[in-house]
Structure 1
Amino acid sequence: MPSKFDTRALDLGVLALRAAYAAGTQTPEAVINAVYDRIDRSPDPAVWIALTPRAEALARARAVPLDAPLAGIPFAVKDNLDAEGLETTAGCPVYRYRPERGAFVVDRLLEAGAILVGKTNLDQFATGLVGTRSPYGAPRCVFDERYISGGSSSGSAVAVAAGLVSFALGTDTAGSGRVPAAFNNIVGLKPTRGLLSTAGVVPACRSLDCVSIFSLTCADGDAVRRVVEGFDPADPWSRPARSRPLPLEAPAVGVLAPADRDFCGDAATAALYEDAVARAEGLGWTIREIDCGPFREAARLLYAGPWVAERAAAVGGFIAAHRADCDPTVAGIILDGPAPSAVDAFQGIYALKAHERACAAVWTTVDALLLPTAPTQYTVEAVKTDPVALNATLGLYTNFVNLLDLAAVAVPAGFTPGGLAFGVTLIAPAFTDAALAVLGDRLHRALGLGAGRDRVPVPALVVQDAPDLVDLAVVGAHLSGMPLNHQLTDRGAVLVETTRTARDYRLYALAGTVPPKPGLVRDPGFIGPGILAEVWRMTQAAFGAFVEEVPPPLAIGTMDLADGRRVKGFVCEPAAIAGGEDITDRGGWRQYLTGV
């Protein structure tokens, strides 16, 4: 029976579907039927390795509780992640096996109500950034079938970009969760290592592997991350989730100096990178050129150092026993290089530590990096002719990220005159995932490129803050440049925004305080200008330590801001204002001190 719901122009965005379900304008059953119809009509046969039977997916759609976090959201997983009921091949038919249980992250999605549509194609054993090293075919760029889609998570990226699923899981060791996103105009979220469990994932480099998320928007990807992240005792590489804040109002962003901008002669992508930097500056971000030398030196270790041996540790024995059945390029990379010794491994670790120390100097001057995701894009035929060198080129700006324990989010950043997509990546230290999603969301919308093949508009969505961060509003001696501001910055707090309180607050210059301080008091029914405030973000632990230092008559309570939000903030005991001066009409403490 035909659905009564119109799914022809269906927006499969995660948050868009949740809103449609809540409004009753769509049902999971209608959406899943539409998804399978789209797959039937898809012109690219290489996207999928296996599909969940339509009847099974529809049965799940009819039964899913709509109050589940991802109820009725269709998704796909790269075929090196286990899913109960479907075989895992890792892109190699003779390697196939049927897992007894799903990967930790896949099971979490199913428990949250998401509906698994199928397993997607990949560079065999997740070895490659091109998407052509698979006996199941090469998924093509959604904008031009002559061009590669990027790998190794090729099928997952194309499935999202082509509107076949709402989001997809990939993996990322050298850039596999970011390069395909750039080539297909979608978001690629590469979480902090260990934030998402890799239990149930066929490893590439076990110490570096990450499960990645492809989505249409940063808000969608962040919503999925919050569902699947969590400490997994079964994964020795799993780490408890925590959050590290970044400035959201005016972050200092490191960009490539002109001499370091290598685009392999591609003038179009070079111009698009310059435009993305200009758009970032237009958002009020501080742009600083960096020395990318230490990052590039670290990147060279991934394939020129002992980490190649880790790929052999993962699947080398199998490939050696079945070489004729494996992709020759993959087999050559894993088996044919010189076998590093234990001494080589330690020397590689020492070299990486030296590069980390050099990179640390960069992080003292910037909050995040804004780099090209890939310097250029190649045709399928070009990659077949020179599969190793061209693949290495694509990792120029991605290979160092997991080695240096960084988080990243890749966002769309424009189209070349020939119609190919280009992307940039925001990169920051580990556990900045939540803040990167906010910054990535703002940049994506500022660039105005939409998402996916159809360039679906990206709505102005607010990405949630991390649950273990606290926003604190200050109005006096803790403002930027004021005597007590160090009590915030010493604890790692970062400035999020400058705003005003609600209009029913009065501000008093208190008598006898050292250093001079104001007192903020709420006066219900009073209508004033609102008091200038800064909102600072810090961890819960830092907030607790900060509160212990607050002396009477000041205290930390709940403050209403001009836009209706409520945050923690400084308040004052009413008795303390008896000898103070009402300075409300000045509009803020800084204005009072400067006389402006």
Structure 2
Amino acid sequence: MQTVTGVAAPGVHELRTAYSAGALRPRDVVEALLQRIAERGDDGVWITVARAEQLHVQAAELESLPAARRDALPLWGVPVAVKDNIDVAGLPTTAGCPAFAYSPARDAGAVRRLREAGAIPVGKTNLDQFATGLNGGRSPHGACESVFGGDLISGGSSSGSAVAVAAGLVPVALGTDTAGSGRVPAAMNGIVGLKPTRGLVGASGVVPACRSLDCVSVFARDLDDAATVLDVLAGPDPDDPWSRPSAPPPPTTAVLAFPEALDFEGDEAMAAAFARVAARAASHARETIRIDAGPLREAGDLLYEGPWVAERLAALEDFLDAHPDDVLPVTRAVIERGAAFSAVDAFRARYRLQELRAWAAELFARADVLLLPTLPTTFTRAELVAQPVARNLVLGRYTQFTNLLDLAAVAVPAGTTADGRPHGVTLVGPAFSEARLLAAAARLVPSPVPPTRRDS
């Protein structure tokens, strides 16, 4: 038997090949995973890891299936990490707040689909508390460092899930993405972050941030693995009233859109890195157009600077009142800002959002894909501690608008800046355009050399 101990876990397709050849068994992969987690020590990735005996039982059950049944399961024997605001039966859900913890009797809809496809949920990962933040440091369980090192933030709120994939612990992880939480950490760790269309993947069993906007997202090493997992996850969720069936996107036009006058916070190295990727993408597109990024930023500002922050308060107000000292001060401050907005404010913002959605619909009638930097700049963990709110808003500059405008997005790694920091880009398209975006990413964005992973 081949061993995977001490090296990065294989990806989904690599695992399937090794399993088919008899070179690996799920129990080997589980044992190697547990050893790597132990070797890394207190890296801030995990809140809870399933007991070894539980994982071995799951592996043995999968190995006992007939060969024909195994072949029919697209994720047979694939270890999966799950963000700790998504229910996994048998493991506590904390949302990064110990006082909030509860023990779910059943899996979230997305986790149930993974299990039915043969996956092995191995543990719950760290996050910005209540999924409020994009930096990965708002947690009583510590702040993950990016696999690029240098005290760079991991990105959040799905910090642990992204690092678990980027560090080679698991090939796939689930996150959530309301403002960019499935894309910012992907960019900071050199992996793929797929944010599906709202409602395409059921959100039952997910602790809500903004319930009308929340999405379960996918972290993977490459586009093929992300597509495989999305095929498993997509579909109606009878327990989620926001679930909706897939619909065809607008007809393709073979046109690539770029924004004008991007703001990189003075980060010339990041601006240069994006310019290189954009030039290459343009050379592979049939036609390109330039757009004003102003409406995108205006829509994104509604999330934290407008009345949509009140939706976070709607989900957590009772808990905040009952546990005044159990929530991190920065998390509480962000959520409680929702009380400042009236119903009149909400309706006025909703009317403006409808106008911005009409603008976006007109854009994607002309263009297939919009190419953006995932991040305008990067920060260290120390820099985020110094300015936790202002710099968090910078991180979401080119991600926060997507769910409000009902768009799909995939964040992909695009190498590094001249000074060695991670650089990623995001391809954005209309609702239900995931297949188009994945194909465009493979065609337009070169695959970078993966970062050197740093073990603790």
Normalised TM-score (structure 2): 0.94
Superposed, which structure 2 residues align to 1:559-578 within 5 Å?
none
Structure 1 stretch 343-352 or stretch 60-69: which is displaced more?
A: 60-69
Whole-angstrom CA distance in 1 between matches of 2:2 and 2:364: 54
Whole-angstrom CA distance in 2 between matches of 1:87 and 1:302: 29
User: Given residue 308 of structure 1, which amino acid in structure 2 is its aligned partner?
Assistant: V
The C-alpha deviation readout for 1:457-503, integer Å capped at 9, x for no partner, is xxxxxxxxxxxxxxxxxxxxxxxxxxxxxxxxxxxxxxxxxxxxxxx
Q: CA deviation at 1:35?
A: 1.3
Structure 1 position 384 matched with structure 2 position 389: no
| 1:120 pairs with one of 109, 120, 125 | 125
Q: 1:245 to 1:361 in 2, by over 3 A?
A: closer
Q: CA deviation at 1:122?
A: 0.3
**Structure with the higher strand share, 1 or 2:** 1
**For residue 30 of structure 1, what is the aligned residue in structure 2?**
28
Superposed, which structure 2 residues align to 1:386-425 within 5 Å?
386-425=387-426
**Identity across matched positions, percent:** 52
Contact 2:126 2:160 in 1 (8 A): yes
| 2:50 pairs with one of 44, 49, 52 | 52
Q: 1:129 to 1:232 in 2, by over 3 A?
A: same
**For residue 37 of structure 2, what is the aligned residue in structure 1?**
39
Whole-angstrom CA distance in 2 between matches of 1:308 and 1:294: 19
**For residue 277 of structure 1, what is the aligned residue in structure 2?**
278
The C-alpha deviation readout for 1:44-82, integer Å capped at 9, x for no partner, is 521000001122212211221332221000110000000
What is the SS of the residue equivalent to 2:376? coil
Whole-angstrom CA distance in 2 between matches of 1:165 and 1:364: 38
Q: Which runs of 5+ in 1 are unaligned?
A: 456-596
Structure 1 stretch 323-332 or stretch 274-283: which is displaced more?
A: 274-283
**For residue 216 of structure 1, what is the aligned residue in structure 2?**
221
Q: 1:452 to 1:218 in 2, by over 3 A?
A: farther
Whole-angstrom CA distance in 2 between matches of 1:113 and 1:173: 27
Please identify runs of 4+ aligned residues in structure 1 that moved more than 6 A.
none
Superposed, which structure 2 residues align to 1:103-118 within 5 Å?
103-118=108-123
Whole-angstrom CA distance in 2 between matches of 1:146 and 1:246: 44
User: Given residue 256 of structure 2, which amino acid in structure 1 is its aligned partner?
Assistant: V
Contact 1:29 1:61 in 2 (8 A): yes
The C-alpha deviation readout for 1:526-566, integer Å capped at 9, x for no partner, is xxxxxxxxxxxxxxxxxxxxxxxxxxxxxxxxxxxxxxxxx
Q: 1:214 to 1:453 in 2, by over 3 A?
A: farther
Contact 1:216 1:452 in 2 (8 A): no
Structure 1 position 82 matched with structure 2 position 82: no
User: Given residue 356 of structure 1, which amino acid in structure 2 is its aligned partner?
Assistant: R
The C-alpha deviation readout for 1:21-41, integer Å capped at 9, x for no partner, is 112222211111111111111
**Structure with the higher helix share, 1 or 2:** 2
Structure 1 position 266 matched with structure 2 position 274: no
Contact 2:264 2:377 in 1 (8 A): yes
Q: Which runs of 5+ in 2 are unaligned?
A: none
Whole-angstrom CA distance in 2 between matches of 1:7 and 1:360: 49
Structure 1 position 255 matched with structure 2 position 255: no
Greater C-alpha radius of gyration: 1
Structure 1 position 177 matched with structure 2 position 178: no
Contact 1:216 1:451 in 2 (8 A): no
Q: 1:6 to 1:202 in 2, by over 3 A?
A: closer
| 1:63 pairs with one of 61, 64, 69 | 61
What is the SS of the residue equivalent to 1:278? helix
Whole-angstrom CA distance in 1 between matches of 2:233 and 2:320: 31
Q: CA deviation at 1:154?
A: 0.4
The C-alpha deviation readout for 1:277-318, integer Å capped at 9, x for no partner, is 122123345332111121111111111211011000111221
Structure 1 position 361 matched with structure 2 position 362: yes
Whole-angstrom CA distance in 1 between matches of 2:120 and 2:138: 28
**For residue 433 of structure 1, what is the aligned residue in structure 2?**
434
What is the SS of the residue equivalent to 2:389? helix
User: Given residue 178 of structure 1, which amino acid in structure 2 is its aligned partner?
Assistant: R
The C-alpha deviation readout for 1:256-285, integer Å capped at 9, x for no partner, is 22xx21111111110110111122123345
What is the SS of the residue equivalent to 1:195? coil
Q: CA deviation at 1:452?
A: 5.5
**For residue 165 of structure 1, what is the aligned residue in structure 2?**
170
**For residue 19 of structure 1, what is the aligned residue in structure 2?**
17
What is the SS of the residue equivalent to 2:325? helix
Please give the root-mean-square deviation of Cα atoms over the aligned residues, in Å.
1.7
What is the SS of the residue equivalent to 1:69? coil
Structure 1 position 192 matched with structure 2 position 192: no
